[in-house]
Amino acid sequence: MQLTVWTYEGPPHVGAMRVATAMEGLHYVLHAPQGDTYADLLFTMIERRAKRPPVTYTTFQARDLGGDTAELFKSAVRDAYERFKPEAMIVGASCTAELIQDDPGGLGRSLGLPVPIIPLELPSYQKKENWGAAETFYQIVRAIAGARAPAAGAERTARPADRRPRCNILGPTALGFRHRDDIAEVTRLLAQLGIDIHVTAPWGARPSDIAALGDADFNVVLYPEIASPAAQWLKKAFGQPATTTVPIGVSATREFIAEVAALAGVDAAPLLDWEQSRLPWYSRSVDSTYLTGKRAFIFGDATHVLAAARIASRELGFAVVGLGSYTREYARELREAARLLGVDALITDDYLEVEARIAELQPELVLGTQMERHIAKRLGIPCAVISAPVHVQDFPARYSPQMGFEGANVIFDTWVHPLMMGLEEHLLTMFRDDHEFHDEAGPSHLDKRKSAAADESRSAPLPIVWAADAERELRKVPFFVRGKARRNTETFAQTQGLTQITVETLYDAKAHFAR
Amino acid sequence: MNVPFDPLRVAAATGCDVAPVLRERGQREVFCGLTGIIWLHRKIQDAFFLVVGSRTCAHLIQSAAGVMIFAEPRFATAIIDERDLAGLADVDDELDRVVSRLLERRPDIKLLFLVGSCPSEVIKLDLSRAAARLSGNYMPRVRVLNYSGSGIETTFTQGEDACLASLVPSLPNEGNASERSLLIVGALPDVVEDQWKRLFCGLGMARVQFLPSRRAAELPPVGPNTLFLLSQPFLADTARALEERGAVRLAAPFPFGVEGTTLWLRAAADAFGISRFEFDRVTQPAAIRARRALDHYRAALLGKRIFFFPDSQLEIPLARFLAREMGMQLVEVGTPYLHRQHLAQELDLLPQGTILSEGQHLENQIDRCRTAAPDLVVCGLGLANPLEAEGLTTKWSIELLFTPTHGYEQAGDLAELFARPINRRTRLVA
């Protein structure tokens, strides 16, 4: 048993719903008790979709358990087929139905419906949402595209010279972090390279489109957490290569362009020369010098965390003081990225651990999910959201991609905006007693929210006493670094064997930890 | 539109014979009882709700409110994993470990609910035994109780019922005071409780208590001298448990709107022998004020046709209020469960021929709703936007539980909740 306050990922059947809801002409019959229908609101409220997810739930109750829940499932499949006439159906169980072992796949197939019935085995007590999405997408691709796979070992025929190169875009789902806009941005980049999009899936694809996936020259994997298993299978079955670079950030976008150009056999140089992101120049602008060494903590899914670590350290000049992810499947890549930055990777889906780590590190900026936004708000630390799990605010009305050059522009604005502006920071440091412009007021361009003084969260009771004048002096340190200053001073005092902290100790520590 | 309101005259114009109830079976688009934790955990300020369930349960609670709760929540989930299912981990040990970590983190917690879920019930985890054992370990600092909020047993607001029912056996005995006392049952917003305390006090009834109390140590005493009023229509098990302790339920409609509130308060006043003259003297100012508030919204609602999908069990009292006080026409009133005894007074007040439906076959009901093309649809969060996109105007029903709606002072707010979506439609051109 795991104590969970907030969860980063839903159960795996919610991942399956993200795939089903993104697609057209597919219907999902889920063996599940009443109550599990809450998942509909993720799509209709958080993502504001105008259609109900294409999901039928059996919504069995206690009184059904003694009777025939299998028959209930079969009639649900039959009725859903009659009503919605999908091109294909996926069938499976949620956590509770998994325990009653009705075999949705076998029951679904026994009905003899004239469409493919794809069984999903999603172990709810073991796996989570992203895994469920990846597995579902893989099962759909294998079941539907598999029929057209060439014989094993057959050579892939080269693209005819008179046909433009074409690729599939794999991975975007419903309820993804900015998937809607990433598709548009990447599609535009590929169009600029003269590459056609054959199928985008699961987003917007019909089962009949899935059947034709093999006709593309290669696959663009936008979100490895979701598309990797399907892309690997397509590589094996159809000999289709797949991209490995996720185009988030300026450097990654440039690498992505070079990678797809090579796969498509086109010239990347014109697009690379024409590159139009404002991030590199804004970041070099003298106004941005105050960003130098800003201490950032990063947490989210693997794809966005790996990209954010790179952007934060190499494109914005932040100091990444910690990174982590709830995506255990990519722990190796995350640890490697962390090692290169000289920090430890926190691989966990325990919100309490993440909270403890942030409180301990006292970063100046948190790049995280809605959960970290919650933590950062309580600790009075600026925060920008970079990854799912999502919130209604993560579906902005405006175009707001994370990928490509426009995505880099969006990232620059989103990450820099929560921070204190350069000169304001200096003025706060110089005139700490100003009654309006004091440190508890927060950045003037943001809400007047009281910072839940991060410095109150002392790590552990120490046998060290703060002299009154030192305590007063500490209050003059701007709030967003005060917690760090307190901790550093206490650590310093401890290493020096001091029992009382004076104003002198405070400044000795400041000099000791000067960066 | 300022039709003077006279409950007795309206009552004469309607009758008790409601058309036969349409009973359906099929997909039910409803929350499970765990959802109640979202409001209960803020009501009892030193209680904590630990769901023993799956990742789905945890995901449901954090998603159901549509927003995250930015204060530290007083709920969490002990997620059952495959080790627990395979018997590799001793479930009692695991639960002890989780509870001890939790109570260490939250020393302010005085009452802990272990909340059963679909998976915990299917694998037959005995949470009552676990609660007794943990209570033994942690009393007197923390009392540990259990109830089920599972979807296979409970629908949405029935979770509150199960929670309150689990509290009843631990309520203190009323002692040998021969004086009768009044107990108001149902989690209410603090502001509503305070208003009612003032009203009852004005009526000379000082011994009025509330279940649940705001703090675990202030649970109201109960016994044969306790008369209780249900403030919500979904508290069947709690009522039964109170009756087992000897308390007596006062039958009344529910306190929504001026009429409902007046009849509800009067049920108590009559039981305590307060004269009609005294009752009117105390309640009239608030009732008149409430009627004035309702007048603001009557123009928007009068003659409009409303369709209720089953959700909170509040549907019948709300339909009664909207039909009788706001002049709305009831197209279909769906309820997940119809408790005929507790709703007898409500059913008597419903307009003749009102179509009631119990249970749900979602697709059929949506078909009926589309065909009827009502002016306003009351439904859950999963349906609201899709129906809006089809051109229907909706009111999400969960807000009816998250907003103070009971009593005189909130009658206008309650009407406004229904008037707002209609008002909004008329404002938007693009």
Which residues partner with B249 through β-bridges? B228
Cα–Cα distance, A460 to A375 (Å, whole number): 19
Identify which of A1, A94, A128 has the shortest CB distance to residue B80: A1
pLDDT on residue A423: 60
Q: What does the pLDDT look like over B322-333, one tens digit per residue? A: 999 999 999 999
Strand ranges (E), A46-191 = 55-57, 88-93, 117-119, 166-170
Q: What does the pLDDT look like over A186-195, one tens digit per residue? A: 999 999 999 9
Which residues partner with A319 through β-bridges? A295
Contacts of A370 in chain B (CB under 8 A): 68
For residues B3 and A358, the model is more confident at: A358
**Interface check A514 vs B, CB under 8 A:** no
Kindly report the CATH number that applies to the domain delimited by B181-277.
3.40.50.1980
Cα diameter, chain A:
83
Residue B335: phi and psi, rounded to 5, are: -140, 145
pLDDT at B402 over 70: yes
Cα–Cα distance, B310 to B26 (Å, whole number): 13
Output the average pLDDT for chain A.
90
Q: Given 3.40.720.10, 3.30.70.940, 1.10.3720.10, 3.40.50.1980, which CATH number is that of B33-153?
A: 3.40.50.1980
pLDDT at B8 over 50: no
pLDDT on residue A454: 40
The sign one gets for the Cα dihedral A243, A245, A248, A254 is negative
Tokens of A452: 């839940």
pLDDT on residue A143: 97
Q: What does the pLDDT look like over B50-90, one tens digit per residue? A: 999 999 999 999 887 655 555 678 999 999 999 999 887 88
The sign one gets for the Cα dihedral B383, B389, B393, B399 is positive
| Mean pLDDT of the region B27-55 | 94
Q: What is the ipTM of this complex?
A: 0.92
pLDDT at B2 over 60: no
- The answer to whether A35 and B87 have CB atoms below 8 angstroms apart is no
pLDDT on residue A245: 98
* DSSP 3-state of A484: helix
pLDDT on residue A453: 41
Cα diameter, chain B:
70
**Interface check A348 vs B, CB under 8 A:** no
Q: What does the pLDDT look like over B263-309, one tens digit per residue? A: 999 999 999 999 999 999 999 999 999 999 999 999 999 999 999 99
pLDDT on residue A434: 59
Chain centre distance of CA B5 = 27
Identify which of A5, A56, A125 has the shortest CB distance to residue B27: A56
Spatial strand order of the sheet with B143-148 comes to A2-4, B75-79, B47-53, B111-116, B143-148
Of the listed ranges B76-80, B175-179, B188-192, the one predicted with least confidence: B175-179
How close A199 comes to chain B (CA, Å)? 27
Identify which of B60, B76, B122 has the shortest CB distance to residue A35: B60
| Mean pLDDT of the region A391-412 | 95
Tokens of A75: 């009639």
- The answer to whether A370 and A46 have CB atoms below 8 angstroms apart is no
pLDDT on residue B322: 98
pLDDT at B13 over 50: no
Of the listed ranges A286-290, B16-20, B369-373, B426-430, the one predicted with least confidence: B16-20
| Mean pLDDT of the region A477-491 | 80
pLDDT on residue A451: 43
Strand ranges (E), A203-348 = 218-221, 295-300, 319-325, 345-347
Where does the pLDDT of residue A456 fall: very low under 50, low under 70, confident under 90, or very high at 90 and above? Answer: very low
- The answer to whether B346 and B330 have CB atoms below 8 angstroms apart is no
Q: Quick one: what percent of chain A has pLDDT higher than 90?
A: 71
**Interface check A344 vs B, CB under 8 A:** no
The DSSP secondary-structure symbol of A154 reads P
Which whole-number Å values give the CA distances from A188 to A126, A178, B171, in the listed order? 39, 16, 66
Where does the pLDDT of residue A235 fall: very low under 50, low under 70, confident under 90, or very high at 90 and above? Answer: very high
* DSSP 3-state of A406: helix
- The answer to whether A86 and A25 have CB atoms below 8 angstroms apart is yes
Helices (H) and strands (E) in chain B, counts: 18, 14
| Mean pLDDT of the region A92-100 | 95
pLDDT at A459 over 60: no
pLDDT on residue B397: 87
Where does the pLDDT of residue A462 fall: very low under 50, low under 70, confident under 90, or very high at 90 and above? Answer: low
**Interface check A2 vs B, CB under 8 A:** yes
- State the best of A56, A95, A131, A391 to mutate against chain B, taking most chain B CBs within 10 Å: A95
pLDDT at A218 over 60: yes
| CATH 3.40.50.720 at B12-29+297-429, yes or no | no
Output the average pLDDT for chain B.
92
Cα–Cα distance, B320 to B327 (Å, whole number): 10
| Mean pLDDT of the region A50-62 | 96
Q: Which of residues 403-432 of A touch B (CB under 8 A)?
A: none
Q: What does the pLDDT look like over B124-158, one tens digit per residue? A: 999 999 999 999 999 999 999 999 999 999 999 99
pLDDT at B17 over 70: no
pLDDT on residue A156: 82
Which residues partner with B230 through β-bridges? B185
Catalytic residue among A79, A287, A413, A434: A287
CB contact under 8 A, B98 and A374: no
- Please name the residue of chain A whose CA is at the shortest distance from the CA of residue B77: A4
Q: What does the pLDDT look like over B231-241, one tens digit per residue? A: 999 999 999 99
| Number of neighbours of residue B347 by Cβ within 10 angstroms | 18
Contacts of B126 (CB under 8 A, 6+ apart): none
**Residue A196 falls in the annotated catalytic set:** no
**Interface check A197 vs B, CB under 8 A:** no
Which residue type, as a one-letter code, is found at position B276?
Answer: R
pLDDT on residue A440: 55
**What residue ranges of chain B are covered by domains with CATH 3.40.50.1980?**
12-29+297-429, 33-153, 181-277
What is the four-CA torsion angle of B101, B104, B108, B109, rounded to 10 degrees?
30
- State the best of B55, B100, B361 to mutate against chain A, taking most chain A CBs within 10 Å: B55
| Number of neighbours of residue A478 by Cβ within 10 angstroms | 17
Contacts of A110 (CB under 8 A, 6+ apart): A74
Find where tokens 């489109």 sit. Answer: A209
Identify which of A34, A391, A392 has the shortest CB distance to residue B151: A34
Where does the pLDDT of residue A53 fall: very low under 50, low under 70, confident under 90, or very high at 90 and above? Answer: very high
Length of chain B: 430
pLDDT at B5 over 50: no
